[in-house]
Each structure stands twice: as C-alpha cells, then as structure tokens.
C-alpha cells in the first residue's frame, strides 16, 4: 500500500451529487444515514439515496426557494421550509406525500423537529419563531421578541429550550414551558445567521455576517470561544455529534473544521465555487455534506474524528506553525470525474405519484485513486 497514512486521517470527498439547478441552501442526513436531503433555490427538495445504484427523488411542491430541511428523528418524515411562507412535511419515498403548513406571513427561514419528533420549530422574516404539533399538524405558540427577520431557530436536545437568531443582531434563548425569552446574547457586528446547540445541550454556537463564530456556555451565560477564521460572512455550521468538532461554511467559498477541545482551526476545505450555504454532519458523524451557490452537493468522509488529536498533531508538527494556532492543511479536491448515472432521478409532484426519470450526474470515490484525489497545501 503506497498511500500515505495521513490520507486516512484527513477528510476525503466521497461523492458529488448533481441534480439541483440553482443554489443549494440546506442539507440534512437521515438518522439511518441512508438518505441525504437537500433544498435549493430551484424550489425542489432532493432526497439522495446513498445506497449504490439507488435513484434520487426530486420533490416538487414549493412555489419559491427552499430555505431549510430536516429529517424527523425516526426518519419517516422530512420537513422543508420555504420563502413561499409554508412548511411541508414529506414522506421520503416514491410516494412523496406532503402536508402543507401555512406557517408564517413572510418567508420561513428554517425548520427543525424536536428530538422526540412531536414538535416543529420555525423561524421567519415576519420576526417570529413558531412551534407546531406534528401529529395533529397544528400551531401551538409563537415567540415574538425579535425586532427583525429571524434566520434560524433550534430546539435544545431535551426540548426545554429554543435558540433563535436574526437580523436584529441578537441570539435569543427561550424557555418552551414558560414561552418566555430567558436570555439575549448580543455583540454582533452584523446579522446572526445560524444558531444551534451542541449534543449535550450545554452550549450554543452562533455564526455571523461579521465573519465570526461564537460559542456560549448557557449554564454560565458566558462566551467561551470566539473564532474569526473566515474572510467573509459565516452562513452555516454543524456540530459533530461528539461535540468535539464543528464545521462551518462561509461566503469566502471555504469550509473550516474546528477542534473545539483544542480551540483551533485544523482544516480548510476548498470544494465549492462561491458561497457555502449548507453544511451538515451525519447523525453518527462519519460523513458530512456541503452545498452552495455553485448548485453542487458534496459528501465527505470525516476521518479526522477517528484519530487521537495529539497523534494527528504530532504527525503534522513539522508542517505546522505554533503561532497563530496550528492549522493542519488546506484540502483542494480535484475537478470531479462526472458520469451520467444509469439510474436517474424520480420526480414526485406534490401528492401525485407520477414519476419521470431525469438524468443525474454523480461522482463516486471509485472514479479516481485515493492518492490522486487532492492537492494538499500544508502550512509551513
């Protein structure tokens, strides 16, 4: 085996999905890792089946840009939010049945299931955060203290809290039982673009149009980490399930991988042309997906989470400068070998089951040898 051992440590590009015709705005893996859902400005929701030779589903129903997507905890439903002011609940199968919520009076920016699958939380340009009952498909209550567009809202893992952020440059923390705002985090130089809890629910992270990523301990209400690693606004991020890593996507066209235990940047990924608008780890953390203004959906193998960080750092010590904090490497996937898949895309329109086959391009890791996959720039 002539492959350098470090290629098993670095994140590697596994697949390249081509099917969206416009900006890819959101992504989420199914709980069993067998499907990847992506939404786009082409108004379509794509469900990519990750098993070999399986067809992808294109769900047609939204009448405007799709802004958010999330699988239910058991994987039986996919929720999507849209600028058409609605949220749809889809069955991620060939039936493609959907239920429509007339959710807000302006664009809906995000949607997420609670960890028990019984509620949905949505954020909107109507300045509100709303919570919905999934089983009865009904509105429960609204959280109304934001003074500008709300870009993102997320439940805590135990469902007791909601975090939200928006163009009023604040991150707000809400108690779902009292339905009151219990804390406000400010100090942003621009819109707060994305917010989420870590897997233990002890911290929230938020990103900003001012190029920053901030992590707050919500037990002490203190800012515990502050990263300025991007050269343009940070649009999205995803915590690794371990809570030890975070990946961010930015308008500087890169993704950054942070080691939160060490408090340092470890990788910069160059895979997209133009802003990166969606990043998501799989539920087990073995994979992550990215999407952006170039209409591409890329799926990566994580790799770095399986190796002890100190071992990884020691292997890279000759290529790392200690000040500023170590940055292990830049990774540039080569231009992809694209081939038309023999299998196609099944298009499902609303409640109907009429399907048409649409050509689709996918690049798999088998298209090129491992050692030819990257040009790697190391920091000297």
Digit-coded pLDDT (tens) for 279-319: 999 999 999 999 999 999 999 999 988 755 455 555 555 44
Q: Which one, of 4, 34, 54, lies nearest residue 343 by Cα?
A: 54
Question: What does the pLDDT average to over 21-44?
Answer: 97
> pTM of the full predicted structure?
0.85
Is beta strand 222-227 parallel, antiparallel or unpaired with respect to 234-239?
Answer: unpaired
**How does pLDDT run across 217-233, given as a tens digit for each residue?**
999 999 999 999 999 99
pLDDT band for 274, please (50, 70, 90 cuts). Answer: very high
Question: What pLDDT does residue 373 have?
Answer: 27
Q: Helix, strand or coil for residue 165?
A: strand
Share of the chain above pLDDT 70, in %: 81
Question: What pLDDT does residue 327 have?
Answer: 59
Q: Which one, of 376, 373, 370, 361, lies nearest residue 16 by Cα?
A: 361
Q: Helix, strand or coil for residue 8?
A: helix
- Higher-pLDDT residue of 156 and 358 is 156
Question: What pLDDT does residue 94 have?
Answer: 87
Positive or negative CA dihedral for 179, 185, 189, 193? negative
Question: What pLDDT does residue 108 have?
Answer: 98
Cβ-based burial of 306 (10 A; exposed 0-12, middle 13-18, buried ≥19): exposed
Can you tell me the distance from the alpha carbon of 373 to that of 363, in angstroms, rounded to the nearest whole number? 12
Give the CA distances from residue 191 to residues 20, 152, 153, 360, in Å, rounded to whole numbers and listed in that order: 27, 11, 14, 36
| pLDDT above 80 for 27 | yes
| Residue 194 CA neighbour count, 13 Å, CB half | 25
**How does pLDDT run across 343-361, given as a tens digit for each residue?**
467 777 654 322 222 333 3
DSSP bridge partners of 298: 16, 290
Contacts of 221 (CB under 8 A, 6+ apart): 183, 185
Question: What pLDDT does residue 223 have?
Answer: 95
Question: What does the pLDDT average to over 39-62?
Answer: 94
DSSP bridge partners of 133: 119, 138
Q: Which one, of 8, 55, 3, 52, lies nearest residue 366 by Cα?
A: 52
**How does pLDDT run across 181-219, given as a tens digit for each residue?**
999 998 778 999 999 999 999 999 999 999 999 999 999
Question: What pLDDT does residue 361 have?
Answer: 32
Question: What does the pLDDT average to over 13-31?
Answer: 96
Question: What pLDDT does residue 379 have?
Answer: 30
**How does pLDDT run across 320-341, given as a tens digit for each residue?**
444 444 456 788 876 543 433 3
In this structure, what DSSP letter does residue 177 have? T
Chain centroid to Cα 183, Å, comes to: 25
**How does pLDDT run across 78-137, given as a tens digit for each residue?**
999 999 999 999 999 888 889 998 979 999 999 999 999 999 999 999 999 999 999 998
């Amino acid at each position: 085996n002539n492959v350098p051992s470090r290629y098993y440590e670095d994140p590697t590009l596994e697949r390249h999905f081509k099917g969206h015709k416009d900006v890819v705005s959101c992504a989420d893996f199914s709980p069993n890792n067998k499907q990847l859902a992506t939404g786009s400005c082409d108004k379509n929701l794509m469900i990519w089946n990750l098993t070999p030779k399986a067809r992808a589903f294109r769900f047609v129903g939204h009448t405007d840009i799709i802004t958010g997507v999330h699988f239910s905890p058991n994987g039986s439903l996919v929720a999507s939010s849209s600028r058409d002011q609605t949220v749809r609940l889809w069955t991620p199968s060939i039936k493609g049945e959907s239920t429509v919520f007339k959710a807000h009076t302006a664009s809906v920016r995000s949607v997420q299931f609670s960890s028990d699958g019984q509620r949905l939380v949505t954020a909107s340009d109507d300045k509100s955060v709303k919570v919905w009952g999934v089983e009865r498909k009904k509105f429960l209550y609204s959280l109304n203290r934001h003074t500008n567009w709300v870009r993102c809202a997320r439940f805590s893992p135990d469902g007791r809290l909601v975090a939200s952020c928006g163009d009023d440059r604040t991150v707000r923390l809400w108690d779902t039982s009292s339905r009151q705002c219990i804390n406000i985090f400010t100090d942003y130089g621009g819109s707060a673009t994305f917010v989420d809890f870590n897997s233990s629910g002890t911290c929230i992270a938020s990103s900003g149009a001012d190029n920053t990523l901030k992590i707050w301990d919500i037990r002490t209400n203190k800012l515990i980490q502050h990263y300025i690693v991007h050269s343009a606004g940070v649009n999205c991020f995803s915590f690794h399930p371990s809570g030890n890593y975070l990946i961010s996507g930015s308008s500087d066209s890169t993704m950054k991988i942070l080691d939160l235990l060490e408090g340092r940047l470890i990788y910069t990924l160059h895979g997209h042309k133009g802003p990166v608008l969606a990043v998501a780890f799989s539920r087990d953390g073995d994979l992550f997906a990215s999407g952006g203004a170039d209409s591409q959906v890329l799926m990566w193998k994580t790799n770095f989470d399986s190796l002890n960080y100190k071992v990884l750092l020691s292997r890279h010590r000759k290529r790392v400068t200690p000040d500023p904090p170590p940055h292990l490497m830049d990774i540039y996937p080569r231009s992809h070998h694209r081939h038309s898949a023999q299998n196609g895309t099944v298009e499902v329109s609303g409640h109907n089951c009429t399907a048409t086959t649409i050509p689709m391009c996918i690049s798999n890791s088998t298209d090129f040898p491992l050692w030819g996959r990257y040009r790697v720039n190391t920091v000297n």
